[in-house]
Amino acid sequence: MTFMISSVYFDIPYTYYIPQYAPVIKLLQDKKIDCHAMLYHGNDDALKMEAASGLGLSVHWADSPEEALQHYSKVIPDWIIFGNNYEELKSLPEKTKSALLFHGSGTGVKSASLSPNLAYFDVRFVSGPGRMKIFNEHYPNVKMYEVGFAKLDPLRKPETLEQAKLDLKALGLCKNKKTILYAPTFYPSSIENMGRKFPSDFSDYNILIKPHDFTLHKKKYRRQLKKLNAWKNADNVYLASSSEYSLIPFMASADLMITDTSSAIFEFSSLDKPVVICDFPHIRWGYRGPFKYRLKKRMDQSTEHYQNVAAKASRYKKLKATVVEHMNTPSLLQETRLKYSKEIMGNTDGNASQRVVDILMKT
């Protein structure tokens, strides 16, 4: 049974939620359904506005979840799509349905996707059977649908994959070199412990650097940004600007990815490309010694064995050899990549967003 839907809101506190939403938004718009963005004021308002407007969304602003609730209660949309927890979830209008399309789809190594507050959505979209099993144990009363990973739909089909790729020459890089994507998260991050001569140590390769949104916009991580800005002057480096909020073009263009505790481990490996994990993240004092439990709590232990999709370098001095080995022989972990991609990322046919839309129309 298909229901009539007139309006869908996408709750967007951060721009890095948008790539997960984008393929779904396009399909809803193709069905002439009004799509809206609820944006939250911060220090990157212009970027948020540009990103949302670029997708053809009607834009609304709030200073807090409480203020957003006031708007939702007034307009009573059919659906609101969230990328993480929403503090006012239980107070939404009775006729409005809520869906969780997690910004990392629960594929990451952090425990955010296991928050108890995520048990109150009407619907939760899950990427693959491995994650479905875990989430069913935590939230037995939530309607869950295994759909795949919507964010990567553009990279699953040859025609859209080519469109997504960056023009390396236009970025000042060498088309004849293989390309590394360095995609660190904000915490725990490898940036602080990466060698100062990272670009010259890897001079045989192009290096695309795509930092997390927090690294670019939060003062707390200004030292990370300072280090990245020092690297961007190297001839073989391109540092993504804040307006390049999507990881999609960078993944499409790279031969190998270096990362740390980012969910991008599983995103990139599902493209059957090699990943190298910097197993030497910077750990704050408040997460060491007697406070080590805080780090354990922050990380999702259930994904630990899935990290076998990637090679690991225990310290920076070992990173180069590990990268060279897997760049030269990308098939080394192929069997494991393909096995775990099915478990954690689910169906990779490029139609995850279509399945999401079909469920919204029928639920």
Instruction: Summarize pLDDT for 317-331 with one digit per residue, the tens.
Output: 999 999 999 999 999
Whether pTM > 0.95 for this model: the answer is: no
- Cβ atoms 234, 200 nearer than 8 A: yes
Both tokens of residue 308?
């076998």
Identify the pLDDT of residue 201.
98
- Decide: 140 and 292 in contact? Cβ < 8 Å: no
For 178, the token pair is 């293989």
pLDDT tens sequence across 36-76: 999 999 989 999 999 999 999 999 999 999 999 999 999 99
Work out the pLDDT band at 299, boundaries 50, 70, 90.
very low
Phi-psi region of 138 (alpha: psi -120 to 50; beta: other; left: phi over 0): alpha
Torsion, Cα 8 11 12 17, to 10 degrees, reads -80
In which band, very low, low, confident or very high, does the pLDDT at 1 lie, cut at 50, 70 and 90?
low
Contact yes or no for 121/83 (Cβ under 8 A): no
- pLDDT of the residue at 282: 66
Q: Which of 40-49, 155-164, 186-195, 276-285 has the lowest mean pLDDT?
A: 276-285
